[in-house]
Structure 1
Amino acid sequence: MPTWTALSQVSGRDAADTLAELCEDLTPEPVGSGVFEIEDGSDRWEVGIYFTESPDEIGLALLAAAQGANPFVISELPEVDWVAHVRRELTPVEAGRFFVYGSHDEDKVPADAEPLLIEAAMAFGTGHHGTTKGCLEALDRLLSSGWKPGRVADIGCGTAVLAMAAARVLPGTVLASDIDPVAVDVAAANVLANGLDGRVVCIEAVGFDHPMLDDAAPFDLVFANILKQPLIDLAPDMARHVAQQGRAILSGLLVTQAADVIAAYDAAGFDLESQEEIGEWATLVVTRR
């Protein structure tokens, strides 16, 4: 089935949300939309609209003009079996003791590794991104130092690969939350596929805003592999939910953004323990004072 994308940019989140909402009334109707912040400090937002029929170019142009947005750039995407393509391109990831793989590479799992099965069809992070790999390596280093956290949470869990990694090597139940209900469903499916049902509990929540997270706090370890601004916004709430001398592993940020995140967590009562870089991506380990 052919797919069309229509992409625009506009200043401000409210204008971006409004534009995406107005596009839903077009004919033919879009099958999806997304609003994404351009992480350069400009407060510019990208609006993506997705169609399975050729979109109304005039209607899109009028809506963009009415919201002060850039004209939509419309593209027709070729029909590609993306799952087969990803399976060909993605090789297993080794991150310390952890081995992230798809079922097509099951025969490559080392006998002494902690295996984490993430299918290529699953969205929200397969372990190949530098941020996910950085978080897994940070966890491996902390464990190798002899540290054994008790209560663990994964905020913005995506596929729940980080929560599952913790559950593989630590006792107790790990809480994995995400703002996106689709991500929560994906995470729950991955937990079942990895035989960790009951060890990882997947919940829909904005940050720590959920009774289960409140009841389980304070946490000894929290993962937050999200984006720069959400990490900064989360810092005060992180301080309320992490135990004294507890740690947070933070990623989803560029190396150039690390200083701002470090400053926000210092103000919230955290000391920087380590900063590791994989390509242009940074992973921070911070300890609550």
Structure 2
Amino acid sequence: MISTLTPSTHRATFAIGHEQQAKRVVDLLTESLFEGQAAIAAFEGPGGRWAITMHFAVAPDRAEIRELVRLAAGDDVADATTFDSVAAKDWVKATLDELVPVHAGRFVVHGAHDRGNVAPNMLGIEIEAAMAFGTGHHGTTRGCLWLLDTVLRAYRPQRVLDLGTGTGVLAIAAAKALQIKVLASDIDSLAVRTAQNNAGLNGVGGRVRTIRANGLAAPEFASRGPFDLVLANILANPLRQLATPLALQLAPSALVILSGLLPHQARGVVAAYRARGLLLVRHLKIEGWSSLLMRRAR
């Protein structure tokens, strides 16, 4: 597992009147402190006031920090500055441990703490608490899983590709539901390792083949294709750019599930794939994100 432990830090916090003043104070403090001595952040709070927080790896000289705040923001703000410490904590793991299982058709994406709570008639997908992305809670992942479940109720593809696999959720879902081998690719080597680890964790390590690839030129695509189901949860621009090479990898009547789109981007993506012979079957919107199911015309 990748360590995501955040070390303990020391913190100084104060509030200030408005955005422009907050920006000016942050700039002054940044110039006054040694590089790397502190991380400074400003957040808007209730009533338009801004909270400014300085995080220090080593306990700072409080009198010195108050004096810097006094020079930057005045006596009242300096006198009201508070100091405390933040204990070491694995914030990613803590966040994932608090996430409730996500249901999408027959699929349930869950953490290790909910492993025993997946109903026997559901397909559980456990995501290791090592990465913050791809937990299934995002609207794009849920949309893809819903569409995948819909597809598999009437269709049994034999050659499946998960393009831009991330944590491997979609590849794992397809491998579990179909009991077949699935090819999963990503441009990021860490994502490839994470997806393979998650596939093993879910008992489909032998069925999910993960590769690092930019685009669709790698030899594995030609040897595993043509694909009759492609899952691509990426972003609008890459999806448009991949329309031509992806269409060349499709079997007749293949289905393609595309996501990572804002609703206003869906029309452009649909047009790009329609120009390559694919027709829109369904447009699903979840939590402000669009997922598309398209079919290659006969």
TM-score, normalisation: structure 1: 0.72
Deviations 1:126-177 (A, max 9, x none): 1110000100100111112x21011000000001110010001114310000
Q: Answer yes or no: is 1:231 the counterpart of 2:228.
A: no
Query: Which stretch shifts more, 248-257 or 86-95?
Result: 86-95
- Structure 1 segments, 4+ long, off by >6 Å, are none
How far is 1:80 from its partner? Answer: 4.8
1:155-194 alignment to 2 at 5 Å? 155-194=163-202
Q: Give the one of 68, 86, 100 matched to 2:95.
A: 86
How far is 1:288 from its partner? Answer: 1.0
How far is 1:53 from its partner? Answer: 7.5
Deviations 1:238-272 (A, max 9, x none): 11001110011000011111111111111111100
Determine what percentage of the aligned residue pairs are the same residue. Answer: 48
Alpha-carbon distance between aligned partners in 2 of 1:174 and 1:143, rounded to the nearest angstrom:
15
Partner secondary structure for residue 99 of structure 1: strand
Q: Answer yes or no: is 1:260 the counterpart of 2:268.
A: yes
Contact 2:259/2:292 (<8 A) preserved: yes
Q: Structure 2 unaligned segments of length 5 or more: list them.
A: 1-6, 10-34, 37-55, 59-85
How far is 1:85 from its partner? Answer: 2.9
Contact 1:244/1:288 (<8 A) preserved: yes
Match of 2:115 in 1: 106
Deviations 1:191-245 (A, max 9, x none): 1111112100010001212111111111000000000000000100111001110
Alpha-carbon distance between aligned partners in 2 of 1:209 and 1:157, rounded to the nearest angstrom:
16
Q: Answer yes or no: is 1:126 the counterpart of 2:143.
A: no
Q: Answer yes or no: is 1:205 the counterpart of 2:223.
A: no
Q: Answer yes or no: is 1:270 the counterpart of 2:278.
A: yes
Partner secondary structure for residue 110 of structure 1: coil
Partner secondary structure for residue 294 of structure 2: strand
Q: Structure 1 unaligned segments of length 5 or more: list them.
A: 4-26, 29-51, 55-77
TM-score, normalisation: structure 2: 0.70
Q: Give the one of 161, 179, 189 matched to 1:153.
A: 161
Contact 2:160/2:228 (<8 A) preserved: yes
Contact 2:197/2:205 (<8 A) preserved: no
Deviations 1:88-111 (A, max 9, x none): 431101110011111011121111
Q: Which amino acid aligns with 1:148?
A: R
Q: Give the one of 242, 253, 256 matched to 1:248.
A: 256
Contact 1:225/1:250 (<8 A) preserved: yes
Alpha-carbon distance between aligned partners in 1 of 2:260 and 2:160, rounded to the nearest angstrom:
19
Partner secondary structure for residue 208 of structure 1: coil
User: Which structure's CA Rg is the greater one?
Assistant: 2
Match of 1:217 in 2: 225
Contact 1:97/1:113 (<8 A) preserved: yes
Q: Which amino acid aligns with 2:219?
A: P
CA RMSD of aligned residues (A): 2.2
Q: Which amino acid aligns with 1:113?
A: M
How far is 1:124 from its partner? Answer: 3.4
